[in-house]
Structure 1
């Protein structure tokens, strides 16, 4: 199992229509084959300046690899993530 996580901060103002639209549109990622347990999270720690997080799981490396090249993921990264995300940290985990 691979847990793919990303913490990020958007360029949009907090509470703005643009922020809401980005988060709503990102829900399409959970429809990509192989994605399990997709979550959108609000970051609450004062130890960093990220605002949101996404978390999802994949059964194995081949599922994760397929997600990364899936046309819907590639389009989201190109058309939404790159222009709208100010900063991010991606961390992927497997069980020990």
Structure 2
């Protein structure tokens, strides 16, 4: 299991139509093959300057790779993400082997 997480700050004003259109386009990624437990959340901590976070899970590295290379994901990154995201941080997590934490 891989949990893919990205937090980000948009170039758009908070609450703007542009912000909503970006989030709607991002939400469409939930329908791509292999994506599980997709969620978009608003950041609430003053410790993090990013306004949003997206999380999703994949059953395997192959499923994650398939998502990353999917034409719709590639198009979203090229057409929306690169043009509209001011800053981001990406992290991918796997459960600890043999551990009770997951």
Same fold, judged at TM 0.5 (above):
yes
Classify the TM-score, shorter chain. over 0.9
- Structure number with larger C-alpha Rg: 2
Matches of 1:49 and 1:39, distance apart in 2: 19
**Structure 1: gaps of 5 or more residues:** none
Within 5 A, what are the aligned runs for 1:47-66?
Answer: 47-66=47-66
Equivalent residue, structure 1, for 2:67: 67
Matches of 1:48 and 1:41, distance apart in 2: 13
Which string of whole-angstrom CA distances, capped at 9 and with x for unpartnered residues, describes residues 34-76 of structure 1?
0001000111111120000000000010000010000000000
Matches of 2:33 and 2:2, distance apart in 1: 15
Matches of 1:25 and 1:94, distance apart in 2: 27
TM, length-normalised to structure 2? 0.93
TM, length-normalised to structure 1? 0.98
**Aligned residue pair count:** 96
Three-state SS of the structure 2 residue aligned to 1:38 is: strand
The CA RMSD measured in Å over matched residues stands at: 0.5
Give the deviation of 1:25 after TM superposition: 1.2
